[in-house]
Chains A and B, each alone.
Chain A
Amino acid sequence: GAGVSQSPSNKVTEKGKDVELRCDPISGHTALYWYRQSLGQGLEFLIYFQGNSAPDKSGLPSDRFSAERTGGSVSTLTIQRTQQEDSAVYLCASSPTGQFAGNTIYFGEGSWLTVV
């Protein structure tokens, strides 16, 4: 597809279970970002991948959260031992390079996670 693709679009999981969220960025985009959007809150930065560089993990809220990007393309965000406060929309985005100025960042439709 032409846009950023995320799956699943919706996920309901029990507290304590692990979940994996997948992101397929736009082909050729070197930069990939994960954000979290909770009800009534803005977008919260989680992690950033740029090419083959070490990812910027400074936004991950706890060690239960991890992400990897294989082959410089598809990324997986993993949340271990999910908690109710993890319920949110997880948005993935990509851009041609990692520089925002004059650059457009493209978001996927998000994965809506509900922890019950």
Chain B
Amino acid sequence: TQLLEQSPQFLSIQEGENLTVYCNSSSVFSSLQWYRQEPGEGPVLLVTVVTGGEVKKLKRLTFQFGDARKDSSLHITAAQPGDTGLYLCAGVGSGGGADGLTFGKGTHLIIQP
């Protein structure tokens, strides 16, 4: 079983601060996805990183895939209240298919105005 550990589990910061969320595993993934989930809604895909060392930017969000494809980070610059939500990472195993997508437990992020 491939496990993904996310840290921190909870984070509450002031508007304008920077933050980093981590997603770690002892397993290698063919790709890794980040989702954001708001209360009462389903997760929404933010990005997929595929290549070891890959960095992708989505406005103030920067996603990085570790060189060994075992870990990833999400960095948010100048956080806004609209960034509040549950951030989930999901690793895609080499086997693919539905049970090849393993989710972490998520990071609950609150941005205080």
Contacts and interface: CB of A to CB of B under 8 A. Distances in A.
Interface string A21-60: 0000000000101010000111111011010000010110
A42 B97 contact: no
Question: Size range of the interface on A?
Answer: 20 to 34
Interface in B28-70: 30-31, 33, 40-45, 48, 50
Interface residues of B, number: 25
A109 B40 CA distance: 6
Contacts of B40: 109-110
Contact of A58 (B4, B96, B99): B99
Interface stretch (A12-20, A74-82, A91-99): A91-99
Given A40-B105, A42-B88, A42-B105, A107 B43 contact: yes
Contacts of A35: 103
Given A45-B99, A48-B99, A58-B99, A101 B30 contact: yes
A71 interface: no
B65 to A, nearest CB: 13
B24 to A, nearest CB: 14
